[in-house]
Structures are given as structure tokens and as C-alpha cells.
Amino acid sequence: MTAGQCIDIPVNAKIKVFTLALLNKDDEILLGLKKRGLGEGLWNGFGGKVDPGEEIVDAAVREVKEECGLTVLPTDMENLAVIHFEFVDDPVILEVHVFKCSKLAGVVEESDEMSPKWFPRDNVPHSQMWPDDEVWYPLYLSGTKFRAYFLFQGYKTILSYIIRDFYDHTVILKEKKKDVII
């Protein structure tokens, strides 16, 4: 494993880097209902692709502004996790850098991509979110920093996953739902 990885990823693998920002206010989290594209109809944090030459945290800041109108500073974005997503029959692995932030400025606004709404942190709509969120969301609530790998069949079925401590790589959670090697 190299730095930032939860499993050994082949050196020739095609990786696309994304961000995901979880925005907090008191005991609430701001989620956006995705209006188009990958994840349409699901609640999620705010994020997207990292542009060539762009720093990952700067991409997270940009995506927050574009998707919900709030302003956050790179120095206020806490790196929470790095999650790799692999999809059967898709050669591209998604590397998602998850940040959390509670220093928010501005007014929440709907965008052409997301319809934002505040939820109690302990009562988010898991049934209307990506299936992996329910697995790692308790770690976010506890403040645990982690690295994870999820293998999906399509976009709704998790075949396996492993979650490790961000720093010492000890296994926190692991499950195989099918005969796969992780």
C-alpha cells in the first residue's frame, strides 16, 4: 500500500480524484439532493472532480461554493478520510477525499446540481443515500479518521469493503458479501 490507500491498487490503474465535503452547524449536517448526473436523486455531501493542477482541498472549497453557495476556507477543511471506490467491469477507480467543516460563511442556496437541506446529524436519510454512507457515516460522527475501499456491483450493491485507521492502517471494519478478494 502507498500513502493514502487502504488496499494495494495496481500502479497501472486509472484513478479519478474527487472531493466530498460534509458541512456541519451545531448538531446538523447540510446535505444536497443530487439533481443530475451520477447519484441523481440521492442525498450527499458536496463535492466533485479535482481539476488538473488543482489542489484537492481547493477543489473541495470550490465545489462547496458552486453546489450550495457557502464559503469555506481551505484552512478550515479537516481531512477526514480517503475512500477508493471500484466498480465491477469499470476500469476507473474513484478516489474520494472526504473533508468536514463547521466554519461556514454565506447563505445556503440551491444550485443547478444540488438542492441543499439541513438534517440532524444523527438522523440522516440513509435509505436515500449511497449504500456505503451507512457503513462509514458512524465513523464520521465519532470523528474517526479513516481510509476505505468499497467494491460495487453497479451503483447499489456493495460486494465488499475494508476500512482502516487513517494513520496506522489497522482494520476497523471489513466485510465480504460475495466471493471476492480484499
CATH code of 69's domain: 3.90.79.10
- The mean of the pLDDT values for the chain is 91
Query: Are residues 50 and 89 in contact, defined by beta-carbon separation less than 8 angstroms?
Result: no
Question: Considering the domain boundaries, does residue 180 fall inside one?
Answer: no
d(CA 45, CA 67): 10
What range defines the domain where residue 42 resides?
14-130
Question: Considering the domain boundaries, does residue 138 fall inside one?
Answer: no
**Cross-strand partners of 101:** 23
Q: Given a cut of 70, is residue 98 above it in pLDDT?
A: yes
The three cell numbers of residue 120 are 440532524
CA 168 to chain centre: 21
Query: Are residues 98 and 82 in contact, defined by beta-carbon separation less than 8 angstroms?
Result: yes
pLDDT tens by residue, 61-77:
999 999 999 999 999 99
If one counts the domains in the chain, the total is 1
